[in-house]
Amino acid sequence: LSEDDVNSLLDAAAGLKGPDGKRLRALVELCYATGMRVSELVGLPLASLLRDPEVLIVRGKGDKERMVPLSMPARDAVRDYLAIRDAFVSEGTTNPYLFAGHADKHLTRQRVFQLFKNLAESACLDPRKVSPHVLRHAFATHLLHHDADLRTVQKMLGHADISTTQIYTHVLDERMRRLVAEHHPLARRSSEN
């Protein structure tokens, strides 16, 4: 997804009303702001976000923890969602997850996929090209495009091996080609002839 596509998704989510809209906005903002896997997103404990943290501790694969900074729009979306979260909790029960599902369970991955597909349609995007994983990919790609270093992106994604993160370096390859074409003396010389 391009940055414009992501902005269209975020705008569409922000325009939704009611508890469902606030929940979806929080899901999309957190997904794009952190690059979390969908399983990490739905499994977030409620306690991890109650105090409006600037940094989120995410428990990833292999039960490994990592710290991911939260953007202000993501924090705002979560704060708005927390104000109405009880609408998703069965009466007389408590639910330990930020994104509550039935009983004491979390929202399912399948439900999140469906919500993202519906949102894509609202944003006039191809729903086949929008999913939590695609937003995770956009998170990494956009960071690299804006000069984040590969190691930092690796840590934020929770990749144990940097080679896994290198799938996102197609952005770097294109930027290197452009850099050489625009700034290397021989490249400029050949265009002058």
Domain that holds residue 172: 3-189
Distances (CA, A) of 106 to 49, 99, 154, 159: 15, 6, 27, 24
Classified as helix, coil or strand, 96 is coil
Q: Examine the residue annotation and report whether 61 is marked as an active-site residue of this protein.
A: yes
* Spatial separation of the C-alpha atoms in residues 59 and 141, rounded to whole Å: 22
| Among 32, 81, 97, 168, the one annotated catalytic | 168
Q: Which one of 37, 75, 106, 142 is the catalytic residue?
A: 37
136 is catalytic: yes
Give the number of domains in the chain: 1
Alpha carbon of residue 55 to chain centroid: 14
DSSP state of 87: G
Which residues lie below 8 Å from residue 3, measured CB to CB, with a gap of 6+?
Answer: 138, 142
CATH of the domain at 58: 1.10.443.10
Buried b (16+ CB within 10 A) or exposed e, 140-175: bbbbbeeeeebeebbebbbbeeeeebeebbeebeee
From the list 79, 133, 170, 188, the catalytic residue is 133
Selected catalytic residue, list 25, 85, 136, 142: 136
Could you confirm whether 159 is annotated as catalytic?
yes
Active site residue 128: no
- Please count the CA atoms within 13 angstroms of the CA of 31 that sit on its side-chain side: 30
Clarify whether 155 is annotated catalytic.
no
**pLDDT by 10s per residue, the chain, length 193:** 999 999 999 999 999 999 999 999 999 999 999 999 999 999 999 988 878 788 888 888 888 888 888 999 999 999 999 999 999 998 888 899 999 988 889 999 999 999 999 999 999 999 999 999 999 999 998 988 888 888 888 888 887 777 777 776 666 667 667 777 787 777 766 555 5
142 flagged as catalytic: no
**Tokens at residue 50, please?**
């109650």
